[in-house]
Amino acid sequence: MVGLLNKPGYRYGAYFHIPFCDTKCVYCDFYSLTNHDQAVRFYAALKKEIPLRLLADPIDKPISSIFFGGGTPSLADPADLGDCIRILADHVPIVQNAEITLEANPGTLTPEKLTSLLSQGFNRISMGVQSFSDDDLKFLSRIHSADTAKKAVNDAASAGFSNISIDLIFGLPGQSAEAWKRNLEQAVNLPISHISCYNLIVEEKTPLFSWVKSGKIQVPDEDHNSELYEITIQFLRENGFEHYEVSNFCRSGKASLHNSTYWSWDPWLAFGPSAHGFNGTTRYRNFRNLGRYLEFLESGKLPEEERESLDSITCTNEKLMLGVRTVEGVNIEQIWKDLTAGDSKNLRHKLDWFEKKGYLNWSDSFLKATPEGLRFGDFLAGELFIDPAV
């Protein structure tokens, strides 16, 4: 099974959304609350949700990865998270070497907590570092300093985590190419095996959005962001990281199994408010509201707000979009049967053209980006989109 987990088609993930944070960061649009009054009720409800979800969406493969995201799951009592893993394991098989990740804010980790997380079964930690500049961290309203973040990474390694990832954000207001490169230099000197580098998104309804809209803050233009992205790719490659998805880089063999599940069109279960799941044909989403979420589960109902069975063109478009964003790619065997003769001819023509350019590889059964093509993943995805109305 170990080798098979690296292949699309053999994976089934489980995502748990923990909706609490210490403070709300000015750029963040994820569903999270700074009022923790309902935390005890929430963990009780989350544990009840597991068997209910499995009744609605039974799974046909063992679970290969579990990911606790948020919000700030590292604020939770590790025993509550461990209970969720054990309840899941009581209902479905989990592969022996499953990847079990905790998303963590470095400002919430202590050596004791890290040891406790290991004993609950976690074997991977993904830390939201964002920057190694204290000025950037203050601007982003993070609760930690650069030194705290470095200490948290080192503490995780000393505790026994051999799979540590960090998130960084580039394209911050006033961030020069040199300043961004200094971030990368500090990152690669830490005991990490994975880095996600995200271009700052100015999300609506965040304080950052109003500052940018009112002109109080200016974000860099696209050319500057492209330069920072190119620096990222080159620097991380030179320092032993493989670029395997548009925003993700890893040391050999340390790609995120859980995120690869999303990117290769494999299914995953979802638990917690605002969580999205996919069972292979149908997508669902839970209420993005803790009150509604609790109300439903406490009366024995699944807290699902939306459920959508995907039509064949939507499936095709999603597979194409995902396929051109990873070097692992997606299985596209099915899509030719679902396309009209005209769409199929047109798509084959475009795929041939991008293959000649060296941006992707394809056959009748798979589609994947080349390392060169990854830098244009978003552009390629737009070019391959099939308009259902035509």
Ligand X SMILES: C[S@@+](CC[C@H](N)C(=O)[O-])C[C@H]1O[C@@H](n2cnc3c(N)ncnc32)[C@H](O)[C@@H]1O
**Choice from 15, 32, 100, 217 touching ligand SF4 (CB under 6 A):** 32
Query: Would you state the structure tokens that stand for residue 313, as one six-digit string?
Result: 């063109």
Query: With binding defined as CB under 6 A, does residue 72 bind ligand SF4?
Result: yes
**Choice from 74, 105, 175, 232 touching ligand SF4 (CB under 6 A):** 105
Instruction: Give the residue with the Cβ less far from ligand X, 169 or 324.
Output: 169
- Write the DSSP string, 272-339: STT-EEE-SSEEEEE-S-HHHHHHHHHTT---EEEEEEPPHHHHHHHHHHHHTTBSS-EE-TTHHHHS
Query: With binding defined as CB under 6 A, does residue 22 bind ligand X?
Result: no
Cis bond before residue 71 (omega within 30° of 0)? yes
Task: Please say whether the dihedral angle defined by the alpha carbons of residues 188, 191, 193 and 197, taken in this order, is positive or negative.
Answer: negative
From the list 67-75, 290-298, 307-315, 338-346, the region that binds ligand X by CB under 6 A is 67-75
Place of tokens 């620096």: 231
Give the one entry of ligand X, ligand SF4, none that residue 336 binds, where binding means its C-beta sits below a cut-off of 5 to 8 angstroms depending on kind: none
SS3 content of the chain, % helix, strand, coil (to 5): 45, 20, 35
Query: With binding defined as CB under 6 A, does residue 278 bind ligand X?
Result: no
**Choice from 10, 198, 211, 366 touching ligand X (CB under 6 A):** 198
Over the window 200 to 219, marking each residue x when it contacts ligand X by CB under 6 A and - when it does not, the resulting string is xx-x----------------
From the list 22-30, 60-68, 89-97, 312-320, the region that binds ligand X by CB under 6 A is 22-30
Query: With binding defined as CB under 6 A, does residue 128 bind ligand X?
Result: yes
- Write the DSSP string, 159-218: HT---EEEEEEE--TT--HHHHHHHHHHHHTSS-SEEEEEE----TTSHHHHHHHHTSS-
**Choice from 6, 10, 24, 173 touching ligand SF4 (CB under 6 A):** 24
Tell me which DSSP letter residue 34 carries. S
Q: Please report, for residues 8, 270, 273, the alpha-carbon distance to residue 303 in angstroms, rounded to integers and kept in the order given.
A: 29, 11, 8
Give the one entry of ligand X, ligand SF4, none that residue 24 binds, where binding means its C-beta sits below a cut-off of 5 to 8 angstroms depending on kind: ligand SF4
Give the one entry of ligand SF4, ligand X, none that residue 201 binds, where binding means its C-beta sits below a cut-off of 5 to 8 angstroms depending on kind: ligand X
Query: With binding defined as CB under 6 A, does residue 70 bind ligand SF4?
Result: yes
Strand partners, 99: 65
Q: Please report, for residues 4, 59, 111, 232, the alpha-carbon distance to residue 16 in angstroms, rounded to integers and kept in the order given.
A: 24, 16, 23, 30
State which of positions 117-136 bind ligand SF4 (CB under 6 A).
128
From the list 25-33, 114-122, 273-281, 340-348, the region that binds ligand X by CB under 6 A is 25-33
Instruction: Give the residue with the Cβ less far from ligand X, 213 or 357.
Output: 213
Query: Would you state the structure tokens that stand for residue 360, as one six-digit string?
Result: 């992707």
Name the nearest CA neighbour of 123 among 164, 62, 95.
164
Query: Would you state the structure tokens that stand for residue 316, as one six-digit string?
Result: 């095709």
CB of 344 to ligand SF4, least distance (A): 42
Query: Would you state the structure tokens that stand for residue 140, as one six-digit string?
Result: 């982003």
Give the one entry of ligand SF4, ligand X, none that residue 198 binds, where binding means its C-beta sits below a cut-off of 5 to 8 angstroms depending on kind: ligand X
Q: Which residues bind ligand SF4 (CB under 6 A)?
A: 21, 24-25, 28, 30, 32, 70-72, 105, 128
Q: Which residues bind ligand X (CB under 6 A)?
A: 27-28, 30, 69-70, 72, 103, 105, 128, 130, 167, 169, 198, 200-201, 203
